[in-house]
Amino acid sequence: MANSRNLPKYAVGLDAGSSRTRCVLCVLEDQRLRFLAAASVPTQGFQKGRVADVNAVSQSMLAAVKEAETRSRVLVDSVVIGLGGPSLESSQGRGVYEFGRPREIAPNDLAYAVELASRVQIQPGRMLVHVFPQDFTVDGRAGYRYPVGLMCTKLEANVLLVTTSEQEHEALVSAAHRAHLSVEDTVFEPVAAAYAAVLPEERQRGAAVIDFGLHSTGMAVYDGDACVGAASLQVSSDHLTRDIAVSLQHFYGISVAYDDAETLKRGYGCAMLGLTADNTLIEVPLSDSRGSREITRRQLNEILEARADELFDHIRAEIDRCGMSQALMEGVFLTGAGARLPGLLDMAERKLNCHAKFGLGVGILDWPQNFQDPAWTTPAGLAMYAARLRQQKSNRRCPPGFFGLLGW
């Protein structure tokens, strides 16, 4: 019988987005993760970011995994799935651990204080997804990140709790099970994207990941090892497309189908005026098949700039809420297919007053150059998270502790 320690350890990330379902399949070799295959298929079964048809979502998952299996000649039995959409929320938690007598703090004490902080009363119908330790208070003295070895009688843990709808979570996991896939874990998509795109030293200096999806925009904010903010915003790539269709009808009397508005956005759109040839004429197909009309590129981009400006107002409010408005030394990392819109990086820098760049996957051997695309960052991060789970299971000398709770 083959020794199970010598069997290949595969790590699979599955990102079931509202538009595309992407799968990344890797293998662990000598503590390094190597790329084997990836696949992207159209998603069916989502409506406004929520699972509307479990069977259709399951078929999309199965199609993506089967394509990756065919390309890698590897059979997949388990995956890590990304969570997104409007049902994700975050809140602060606090746990107090009374020792009873003065003694040194041990690593297990930190883990227990964090566990106490996670035992909050969650609203009916919601479930806990992540617990991110932020800092500790030792006998009333706040601001300790890792106070092991200090003497105290009372230890307090401050954590960030990320929750989601039980119904939505169960629907997504059920879709995977119907595709004959075991779900190792579920991860908030911006957190997964941070796994792939943000290096530890960049997190230390302060960074935010903004994941632009079709029906929601997720974000995660980091200060050192701590995730200090997480949110799912209701302004998304879909709103930009719908604004084109609605505004062209309202202001110019041009009726445009949704798919044609999406084509206009991808072909000619820009999130800021002045970055393109604004006087260029664009041919707009009419939805009633009566030919076409012409508008200037400026008219199109005025619509997009207004919505992008609103989007970053919401993002800035979330960054302010977690106290990081002047502390993002590494700036913001934009991920997701929606981040491809020209001008979005410039708008981010103007509105957030910090550096902005695409969050691209790093740390996977043989990662293809054509996958250096923000649309592939989240599935890459999910595969990296899956690899970490495999390493924890195989390395029995390192039981889960405080740093396992950090999410890194």
β-strand partners of 357: 333
Same domain, residue pair 346 and 246:
yes
CB proximity list for 5: less than 8 A, separation 6 or greater: 394
Same domain, residue pair 246 and 379:
no
Q: What is the pLDDT of residues 230-279, one digit of tens each?
A: 999 988 999 999 999 999 999 999 999 999 999 999 999 999 999 998 89
CATH of the domain at 290: 3.30.420.40
d(CA 234, CA 222): 21
Same domain, residue pair 391 and 377:
yes
Same domain, residue pair 217 and 323:
yes
- Tokens 């029906």 identify what position? 215
Q: What is the pLDDT of residues 294-319, one digit of tens each?
A: 999 999 999 999 999 999 999 999 99
CB proximity list for 42: less than 8 A, separation 6 or greater: 19, 20, 21, 60
Domain hosting 260: range is: 202-358
3-class DSSP state for residue 185? Answer: strand
Same domain, residue pair 252 and 332:
yes
Eight-state DSSP code of residue 390: H
Same domain, residue pair 152 and 273:
no
Q: 335 near 190, Cβ under 8 Å?
A: yes
- Mark which of 340, 358, 376 sits at the end of a domain: 358
Average pLDDT of the residues of the chain: 92
3-class DSSP state for residue 247? Answer: helix
Q: What is the pLDDT of residues 95-154, one digit of tens each?
A: 999 999 999 999 999 999 999 999 888 889 999 999 999 999 999 999 999 999 999 999
Tally the domains of the chain. 3
Same domain, residue pair 9 and 130:
no
Q: Which amino acid is at 170?
A: E
Tokens of 334: 């934009």
What is the phi/psi pair of residue 276, to 5°? -130, 175
Same domain, residue pair 47 and 182:
yes
Same domain, residue pair 59 and 135:
no
CATH of the domain at 121: 3.30.1490.110
Same domain, residue pair 145 and 252:
no
Reported confidence tier of residue 19, pLDDT bands at 50, 70, 90:
very high
Tokens of 63: 């199609």
- Mark which of 138, 165, 192 sits at the end of a domain: 165
Same domain, residue pair 194 and 235:
no
- Mark which of 119, 138, 165 sits at the end of a domain: 165
The structure's pTM equals: 0.92
3-class DSSP state for residue 373? Answer: coil
Tokens of 210: 């903004």
Same domain, residue pair 172 and 267:
no
